[in-house]
Amino acid sequence: MSTLKKGPGRREISIKENQSPRKWRILRWISLIFINLFFFASFYFDIQILEGSLSASRFLGLHLADPFASLQIMLASKMVKTNLVIGLVTIVVLYILIGGRSFCSWVCPYGALSEIAEFFHKTLRKKGLIKFKNQTFNRKIKYYLFFVFLILAFVTGFTVFEFINPVSGLSRSFVYGPSLILVIVFFMLALEVLFSKRAWCKYFCPVGVSYISLGMISPVKIHWDPNKCSNCKECQAVCMVPFVLKDTVNKGIGEYIASGECTRCGLCVDVCDDTALTPSIKYLDKLI
């Protein structure tokens, strides 16, 4: 049975019936587990379907390369390698099609651990074990780090960031066995639990910068229907990067979540009782 909800200055709207409140979260976790497990299985059973790690890999012989890692390698080596360019272009095209920063929520192993850490952060806060305010940082820091590590790669001749990169480090550790990077990951997660939830993904991760750029031009967006929205702000409460919703939902700017920082995680869609938020393909949905 549906109930009715009335938004300020809006008509009454019905809450969706028989909804699955975790549909997109479940699908996302299936994707995360499957992709990372596939790396391990391909190596362990030597089936050579998906080889390598999230920095650089081959799927059925097709090269795939993380954009940030690719730029570092080319700047460090002062060379442009054909296989690397093929891998880079393949990933760029893929994430334009499916929505840039979807990598962060549907593929990245650190993103998954950070989501678990956020759960513990919220639980400890509810129990009163964390009393101080959640620490925030300037969101531009990751952009500065992006260029700093590119410059370091060019100047030093080494891919400096890849020594501390928790994304590729976790991927390699999962496939080939534990390494010292896990110590860094442990302390980062501990800081997120105790001081600043999702800090790495929100403020510091330079890997995400290239995907943010791709997300800006990707046609895959979250669509917002102002006629259904009651402005309850539940979507912003669950969003990893709630500021991406503010211009659209709070200020009514546009019908789509335009920010490249949107991870297409679907949490806002799951929690929206108004069905005001839906995954969509911009331009194409106008033709359907």
Containing structural domain, residue 149: 21-218
Which of residues 170, 189, 218 is at a domain's end?
218
Same domain, yes or no, for 179 and 122? yes
**19 Cβ partners below 8 Å, 6+ apart?**
273
User: Does 2 reside within a domain?
Assistant: no
- pLDDT given for residue 105 in this prediction: 94
- When pLDDT is averaged across residues 186-214 and rounded to a whole number, the result is 95
- pLDDT given for residue 96 in this prediction: 94
- When pLDDT is averaged across residues 88-104 and rounded to a whole number, the result is 94
**What CATH number should be reported for the domain holding residue 242?**
3.30.70.20
Residue 20's pLDDT band (cuts 50, 70, 90): low
- pLDDT given for residue 1 in this prediction: 35
Residue 250's pLDDT band (cuts 50, 70, 90): confident
- pLDDT given for residue 48 in this prediction: 85
- pLDDT given for residue 11 in this prediction: 38
- pLDDT given for residue 18 in this prediction: 46
pLDDT > 90 fraction of the chain, expressed in percent and rounded: 71
Same domain, yes or no, for 205 and 226? no
Residues in a beta bridge with 12: 6
Phi, psi of 57 (to 5 degrees): -155, 175
CA angle, corner 52, sides to 50 and 57, nearest 5? 70
Entry field: residues in the chain: 288
Q: Residue 211 above 50 pLDDT? A: yes
User: Does 16 reside within a domain?
Assistant: no
CA angle, corner 154, sides to 68 and 144, nearest 5? 55
Same domain, yes or no, for 134 and 194? yes
Same domain, yes or no, for 209 and 225? no
More confident: 38 or 5: 38
Express each pLDDT in 232-241 by its tens digit. 889 998 998 8
- pLDDT given for residue 87 in this prediction: 95
- pLDDT given for residue 14 in this prediction: 42
Residue 286's pLDDT band (cuts 50, 70, 90): low
Which of residues 188, 218, 248 is at a domain's end?
218
Same domain, yes or no, for 175 and 99? yes
Express each pLDDT in 82-94 by its tens digit. 999 999 999 999 9
**What is the rounded CA–CA span in Å between residue 18 and residue 88?**
42
User: Does 7 reside within a domain?
Assistant: no
**13 Cβ partners below 8 Å, 6+ apart?**
4, 5, 6, 7, 227, 228, 230, 274
Same domain, yes or no, for 210 and 246? no
- When pLDDT is averaged across residues 144-161 and rounded to a whole number, the result is 97
- Name the domain count of the chain: 2
Same domain, yes or no, for 82 and 202? yes
Same domain, yes or no, for 77 and 161? yes
